[in-house]
């Protein structure tokens, strides 16, 4: 049987909370607190990701063993591991919230694989920590399924993300009030093992800076660069006179990675739902899958998070600006130890430029352009106006647009609508405004595509390579959740297999998971109405 041995680089390199007891408290002068997972009475392995297991050099025999179940349910501590919870703060919905920390996540340690890569392992839903505040540190099955599946779906779409190794049912029930409206009920509990190069957030730096601990802030920055931005560290760290260049290069890289991440969210119609600074990864990864959602009908103001229903701070269309706002808060935290303000300002400008350039490039690919020209911005804006003129499915629109033949002449309105019909959430018959917008756009699109010198087959192949046929829509996940709540995990495992090839035309032959949102899911909790409750 495979022997799992972990390392404790974060623990060994940074100061610990000296108090060992597990009770709620303010933790100062430390980056983490020791915290042990809560033992579960009757754990059951519901699913695991073979790809993540392979990444960690885990054999199938080990993944199906009692030892694996004991470790990733939290009942057993691996050799070399020192479980801990991180201390961090954050801005929540635009306001400084003070100390937050890992309230329901416990880090097991780091595993170095045969390729020399270091992967941090973390259990989410594994019990109380000093940062749990008024909560129990546990997670329920519905939110755990959502995190487990979406982590892997994002990866296979090519979006930077934390991964998910395993989903374990605890065999115990957890009391949750899903919408904080006084209707609490018992739900099955679960634990997800998350995997990433690190789980360091903007908030890790913010809390240290807010407390004025410059020495600790420098230690945390240096640790982060050395262990997780290796090429930058190698370039500058050995020349102490170039610390200014080291810090500047690091912040620029953080800004660039964040721009790339958010652009990926936008092009696939993903809405994170709660972009607080404590939910922003320093390595530009998607982290903390809470009240997220995927666009069905294109609506820039849509948010899946019921807590954000009034202000819509974290709606789809505001995500790029919120990411920049969060980077400004990170820059404010770093300012006291940075060599100069210009390094921070230029990093923020890099974010703006990187996002803008990538966003237009990706929109170009989505409609079959091999390069973007200066005047294409108006073409993109016109397309978005068409999508808003009648409720149109973001994902289906681009797959269907690829089928419209543009070889000789602009297609007629009726012909185009017949092809695009599966993307419409209502009839466009008699909608003269839509007819005018679509006809005008199709003519401009046809003229622009004609200059690309690509044939229909090449255009369709290019578009299908960047526009997924399958995304993990909330209603699809909810079907798996509803079945799993009754002890049926077949859809859960079916989805885990389908999400591996989201661009394939041959997946989902029965079209169970690749059609537009059904009417029953429009206002169903878990489909379009979600909260942070888990």
Active site residues: 278
How long, in residues, is the chain? 534
Q: Are 175 and 184 in contact (CB under 8 A)?
A: yes
Q: Are 374 and 391 in contact (CB under 8 A)?
A: no
Backbone angles phi, psi at 155, to 5 degrees: -60, -45
**Residue 454, Cβ density class (10 Å: 0-12 exposed, 13-18 middle, ≥19 buried):** middle
Largest CA distance in the chain: 74
CA distances 225 to 157, 163, 198, 221, 442, Å, are 27, 21, 12, 6, 48
Tell me, rounded to whole angstroms, the distance of Cα 320 from its chain centroid. Answer: 14
Q: Are 243 and 276 in contact (CB under 8 A)?
A: no
Return the H-helix or E-strand segment holding 435. Answer: helix 432-450
Q: Please, what's the b/e burial string for 263-280 (b: 16 or more CB within 10 A of its CB; e: otherwise)?
A: bbbbbbbbbbbbbbbbbb
How far apart are the C-alpha atoms of 83 and 77, rounded to whole Å? 8
- Who contacts 525 (Cβ-Cβ below 8 Å, separation ≥6)? 178, 179
């Amino acid at each position: 049987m495979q022997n799992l041995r972990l390392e404790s680089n974060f623990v060994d390199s940074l100061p610990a909370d000296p108090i060992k007891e597990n009770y709620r408290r303010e933790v100062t002068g430390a980056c983490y607190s020791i915290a042990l997972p809560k033992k579960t009475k009757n754990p059951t392995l519901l699913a695991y990701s073979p790809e993540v297991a392979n990444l960690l050099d885990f054999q199938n025999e080990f993944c199906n063993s009692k030892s694996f179940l004991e470790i990733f349910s939290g009942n057993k501590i691996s050799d070399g591991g020192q479980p801990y919870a991180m201390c961090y703060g954050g801005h929540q919905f635009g306001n400084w919230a003070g100390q937050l920390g890992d309230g329901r996540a416990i880090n097991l340690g780091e595993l170095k694989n045969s390729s020399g890569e270091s992967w941090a392992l973390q259990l989410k839903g594994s019990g109380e920590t000093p940062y749990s505040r008024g909560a129990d540190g546990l997670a329920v099955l519905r939110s755990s399924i959502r995190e487990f599946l979406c982590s892997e779906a994002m990866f296979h779409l090519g979006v930077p993300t934390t991964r998910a190794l395993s989903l374990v049912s605890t065999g115990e029930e957890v009391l949750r009030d899903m919408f904080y409206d006084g209707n609490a009920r018992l739900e099955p509990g679960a634990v997800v093992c998350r995997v990433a190069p690190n789980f360091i957030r903007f908030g890790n730096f913010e809390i240290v800076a807010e407390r004025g601990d410059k020495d600790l802030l420098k230690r945390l920055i240096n640790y982060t660069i050395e262990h997780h931005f290796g090429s930058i560290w190698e370039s500058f760290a050995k020349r102490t006179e170039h610390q200014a260049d080291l810090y500047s290069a690091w912040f620029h890289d953080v800004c660039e990675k964040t721009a790339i991440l958010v652009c990926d969210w936008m092009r696939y119609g993903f809405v994170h739902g709660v972009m607080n600074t404590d939910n922003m990864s320093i390595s530009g990864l998607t982290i903390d899958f809470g009240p997220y959602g995927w666009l069905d009908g294109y609506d820039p103001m849509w948010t899946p998070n019921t807590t954000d229903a009034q202000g819509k701070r974290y709606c789809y269309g505001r995500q790029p600006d919120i990411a920049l706002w969060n980077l400004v808060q990170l820059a404010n935290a770093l300012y006291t130890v940075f060599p100069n303000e210009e390094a921070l300002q230029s990093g923020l400008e890099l974010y703006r430029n990187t996002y803008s350039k990538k966003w237009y490039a990706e929109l170009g690919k989505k409609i079959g352009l091999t390069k973007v020209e200066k005047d294409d911005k108006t073409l993109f804006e016109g397309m978005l106006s068409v999508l808003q003129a009648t409720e149109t499915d973001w994902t289906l629109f681009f797959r269907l647009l690829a089928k419209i033949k543009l070889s000789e002449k602009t297609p007629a309105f009726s012909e185009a609508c017949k092809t695009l019909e599966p993307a419409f959430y209502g009839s466009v018959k008699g909608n003269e405004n839509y007819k005018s917008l679509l006809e005008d756009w199709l003519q401009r699109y046809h003229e622009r595509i004609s200059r690309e010198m690509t044939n229909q087959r090449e255009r369709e192949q290019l578009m299908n390579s960047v526009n997924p046929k399958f995304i993990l829509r909330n209603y699809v996940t909810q079907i798996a959740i509803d079945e799993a709540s009754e002890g049926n995990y077949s859809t859960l495992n079916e989805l885990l297999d389908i999400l591996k090839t989201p661009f394939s035309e041959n997946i989902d032959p029965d079209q169970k998971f690749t059609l537009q949102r059904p009417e029953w899911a429009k206002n169903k909790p878990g489909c379009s109405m979600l909260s942070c409750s888990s």
